[in-house]
Structure 1
């Protein structure tokens, strides 16, 4: 029996085609050749051939104590065969098998996101040995620490960091963003990315399933197989519904003694569209997200996110880029000479503020490197260097006061201005004179304003910022965004307290963070959303991961979740409505077994094609002009 099942399953499409040919020959014999006996024989053979795979599936289900749709069809077909309705039995089996074929093909299309990702997975790499020679090896043979060469147009086979060369990387397979990103020595690269130009050497940190790309594929596969609450309810409902249809069919025969009517009830009551409606919407929605750099961990995450009314965000690394940069410079002297001196001092430090100053000087084409005295660090204040009569101070205002640096009213106003803007202030004094006031700050993400407004337009009621930064810096960011509440100077446990408070107020809360410092809040919220390139903590803690760290991705995820849940409800309505209309048609005498099965299979295709609309759902287009109008 097992071997027969395997053979039937393998050749089911050919069997379906054979049944179609037999039905066509029967119709030709009956209406054209006027050979009634031959027509009947063709229909009998078609009925038997079609009933075999359906009956085998029904028997397998019964062995697992499941009353399946196939059982209803099998009983109906056998009943039609017994009463001599060979046309009905042949047509019903053909439509059922052909419907399965179309269902299989269209479902494969909804899973195309994962298939395309799998095909993009790198399989070979150019391994660089100690002598600098390269050898083509299987990706699975690489180990952490190995060096691989990637040429222009080549695919990066591993996660790692660039140790030689520069180039533009197309990371669309990871982030969903097709615009190439320039990367050089020290920058991280991801398996599956393409080098648009430039030759690079990468030191391996992760290989195969352990890479970000590998984890993305695994997550999407698991998510598409997981069920939404609607799907779980329908599955449970179907376990009772299908036996109920069988009992109703028996009762109809017992009361009316109309055998054709009873078996027609079995066909019309098949819950095919109802059973498939929710899963196919879930698969299509999650697949669309994966294609756009959004990883949703299953139907539960999609359903919960669609009901979110309160969005809670961290500031640093979420609303801002997480990278410090110089916002303003107030100079009191020769600007080029002063900046060259400050950059030379900051090059000796790995502090983020110092690195921002060094980058700013480089962007200003200041390459001069003045000779410096030996520098000492004053904890909590800055750097001090002195040689003979030359003394340089770089740090905060406390350092200046401790060394009796004179600060004029104009300079004090410049310092206060930077602080009022929420900037961290770097001061440089030479001797006892203040030469530079430099404002450094974490920059707001360019799409934050438009993205948050798009979320509100999509139905989000409240946006809250929770941050550990000072109130001035937090308010400075919030004033530029459509944020409803700001709570600053918080510890991680304080953020968790706020999330719980919002939940107690009846809100459905989504928390957006970087997935590291914010992991307690990510886990506590109804939906945790990690913004970043799929770090281990974000993947483990968050329910939704925005591989492309952008607010247009966040807005698309929210809209997509709502559309996926709405699509599921539409499919349930279509499925239930079809069964109701078929039963009504049966009562008034316009629906019979063959036509009922035809409508039943059409309803399955309708719910599948309805779900496939989600695949083509495009990301939200952020319009800065519209946001400004809304804000005003």
Structure 2
């Protein structure tokens, strides 16, 4: 069964509902998310409890309930936004109407008390009875369902007790101020939930569907099926996750990845639902239904994260179970001991004991952690930091070491040409216009060197044209970027693990590793030194040679280059007192060269089990986070205290690890740690607010300095302060 619960203002409301439902026969697997107001439970087929009983119980506790069970068409379950309730203004809500009604009642009571003083007490007594009745009814329902020490019970006892001892006016103020405090909590809670609603609203509700003849029709985005063809015009939001089959454009992916810079995309590139098309019409083939698109899954993961309780939250909830009865026992002693043993007046100490009951409410304390965690998770999601739970958000701020995988994490994940070196210019057919690229004859010496490199690059690209090897693709991309003309090769073949061969302009050419080339061609000592220097920089070197003349014509060096922000990301970690280390299965020369550029510790030529062993050693000294690409680092990500996957909205990045960096930026690791530390600082401030305010008014109440209405304001004020302080995190940069 799935329901949407309305009227939950703080995390303690979750406990009230869970306690009541757990006592009902046949009800199990209760999961209630305060942030999203979603309730899921399992109801046994043969249970005496009926769905109507569940709804009746929840309504008796003072909460609204609406069925949220999936309808027949699963496509319509797509976005949480489809099921989001209409957002009401505060005065339209049940609590808002109650505050307005009580306010009018209080105003009438004050006017009558001024005009007819003899009847003032009676008028206020009526106002108290009318105003407190809904809370008494709710307190009784909560007590019957197992929540005896509820704030509604405490407030009802205090208000009725004050009425009995003749403090009718103050009792009326207690009821009114309590209602105002409840309303403030409701408004603050709704503000905290606005983040997910805004995320859900990013996905367009309609799409332009193209049929086989290209005819356009507007349909609901939730009705799109896999392999449907949709048109995305400039300025439109992409209606579904899919792949571009026609057109090219720049897209703003910030709704999905948090990346503010538009990304150029063309034929074959992936697009995400919610991305904004900027300057070109696109035809997109749908690859995921609305229920499974990236934003819907991000929303689901954020909701699950908010529902999971952080270690600090679990501790505070456990603490509050002992705290409330303890304070109630103190209140009872305050009422009984002074009159019996010290000769105090019963009315005075009963009044002070009742005020103490109001201070006992643990709402602010219980809310202190989940409110901050929910804000931290929301601000992270908006910035492309997908954190899967309060535990991960807490732990990442405590890590002492961050271990990085190299390929695809610190580096781009694909090789790029870094050097093109011609050994023998005269033998490269430089005079052949087909190999000249952009430079012509008769230019200065510098341009002649460039021409020689372009000519060599053209021959490399020609030989590699039929290969699917990653290095071959990198060479072809570099040749295309350099705008060189690539001659047509014939008789292309490959010797597995050694070389590729082809005939170009009548010459039998081959490309191989330095070791293989040295066996097949003549390489001078100077050329060997050049090759060695490039390899010492962590680069992979390929040699082009003529198989007939055994002459080495030149080389191309390639390397998987560092991400643009890798150095800045590692430097930020160091300034935060966090050690960075690179763990890679790559060769030592490559690892050392990149590690020197980053100034980090490193370990190379590691097997998966070696990585796990090193992680275990580091964990013995402190908390460790592991950052990988989410594909081949699963064991290491699971072993670390916090696993972080790099990946721009990919399935793997969303499913693996504790945290996914949707922008794939190394600097986001430092941002994560900063966000975690800010969140934990916010939690500590909230706990101090909650306990500090209550501690101050506990003392002032015992000594008679403050009374009932101040106690109510202290409780409501602490809750509002805690909530507003948690909402400050939404502005975290």
The two structures have a TM-score, normalised by structure 2, of 0.80
Distance 2:259 2:228 in 1: 28
Distance 1:451 1:264 in 2: 53
Does residue 379 of structure 2 align to residue 278 of structure 1? no
**Post-superposition CA distance 1:317-374 (Å, at most 9, x none):** 11111122111111232333322222233231222111111111111111x2312121
Distance 1:106 1:3 in 2: 22
Give the aligned partner of residue 240 of structure 1. 322
Whether the aligned pair in 2 keeps the contact of 1:522 and 1:528 (CA below 8 Å) is yes
Matched pairs, number: 611
**Post-superposition CA distance 1:532-584 (Å, at most 9, x none):** 12433333331111111112322111111111112111111111111110011
TM-aligned CA distance change 1:3 to 1:616, over 3 Å: closer
* Equivalent in 591, 596, 599 of residue 479 of structure 1: 596
TM-aligned CA distance change 1:42 to 1:282, over 3 Å: farther
**Post-superposition CA distance 1:272-325 (Å, at most 9, x none):** 211111111111111111111111111111111121111111001111111221
* Equivalent in 567, 573, 595 of residue 455 of structure 1: 573
Whether the aligned pair in 1 keeps the contact of 2:420 and 2:453 (CA below 8 Å) is no
Distance 2:640 2:478 in 1: 39
TM-aligned CA distance change 1:235 to 1:87, over 3 Å: same
Give the CA deviation at 1:593.
0.6
Does residue 427 of structure 2 align to residue 324 of structure 1? no
* Equivalent in 573, 577, 598 of residue 713 of structure 2: 598
Distance 1:203 1:410 in 2: 54
Does residue 404 of structure 2 align to residue 313 of structure 1? yes
Does residue 278 of structure 2 align to residue 196 of structure 1? yes
Distance 1:348 1:355 in 2: 10
Give the CA deviation at 1:37.
4.7
Distance 1:385 1:365 in 2: 22
**Post-superposition CA distance 1:594-622 (Å, at most 9, x none):** 1121122112111112112211110xxxx
**Deviates most, 409-418 or 112-121:** 409-418
Does residue 166 of structure 2 align to residue 79 of structure 1? no
* Equivalent in 485, 491, 494 of residue 377 of structure 1: 494
Give the aligned partner of residue 12 of structure 1. 95
Give the CA deviation at 1:427.
1.9
TM-aligned CA distance change 1:42 to 1:324, over 3 Å: farther
Give the CA deviation at 1:55.
2.2
Distance 2:504 2:682 in 1: 74
TM-aligned CA distance change 1:541 to 1:336, over 3 Å: closer
How is 1:410-449 mapped onto 2 (pairs within 5 angstroms)? Answer: 410-430=526-546, 431=548, 432-449=550-567
TM-aligned CA distance change 1:278 to 1:532, over 3 Å: same
Distance 1:606 1:354 in 2: 61
Whether the aligned pair in 1 keeps the contact of 2:420 and 2:457 (CA below 8 Å) is no
Does residue 383 of structure 2 align to residue 262 of structure 1? no
How is 1:191-590 mapped onto 2 (pairs within 5 angstroms)? Answer: 191-255=273-337, 256=339, 257=346, 258-332=349-423, 333=425, 334-366=452-484, 368-386=485-503, 390-402=507-519, 404-430=520-546, 431=548, 432-460=550-578, 462-483=579-600, 485-503=601-619, 505-590=620-705
Whether the aligned pair in 2 keeps the contact of 1:393 and 1:429 (CA below 8 Å) is yes
Give the CA deviation at 1:38.
5.6
* Equivalent in 51, 57, 67 of residue 132 of structure 2: 51
Give the CA deviation at 1:4.
7.3
SS in 1 for 2:225: coil
Q: Which runs of 5+ in 1 are unaligned?
A: 619-632
Whether the aligned pair in 2 keeps the contact of 1:12 and 1:53 (CA below 8 Å) is no
Distance 2:483 2:119 in 1: 92
Q: Which runs of 5+ in 2 are unaligned?
A: 1-55, 65-92, 340-345, 426-451
Distance 1:359 1:381 in 2: 22
Give the aligned partner of residue 622 of structure 1. none
SS in 2 for 1:323: coil
Give the aligned partner of residue 726 of structure 2. 611
Instruction: Tell me the C-alpha RMSD between the 2 structures.
Output: 2.1
TM-aligned CA distance change 1:180 to 1:309, over 3 Å: same
Distance 1:510 1:7 in 2: 44
Does residue 303 of structure 2 align to residue 186 of structure 1? no
Whether the aligned pair in 2 keeps the contact of 1:15 and 1:49 (CA below 8 Å) is no
Give the CA deviation at 1:3.
9.8
Distance 1:481 1:69 in 2: 56
TM-aligned CA distance change 1:409 to 1:42, over 3 Å: farther
Distance 2:499 2:275 in 1: 41
Give the CA deviation at 1:401.
3.2
The two structures have a TM-score, normalised by structure 1, of 0.92
Distance 1:38 1:224 in 2: 52
Distance 2:63 2:637 in 1: 49
TM-aligned CA distance change 1:530 to 1:49, over 3 Å: farther
SS in 2 for 1:464: strand
Give the aligned partner of residue 45 of structure 2. none
**Post-superposition CA distance 1:26-75 (Å, at most 9, x none):** 33444xx4332564454334322331232233223223212212211111
SS in 1 for 2:243: strand
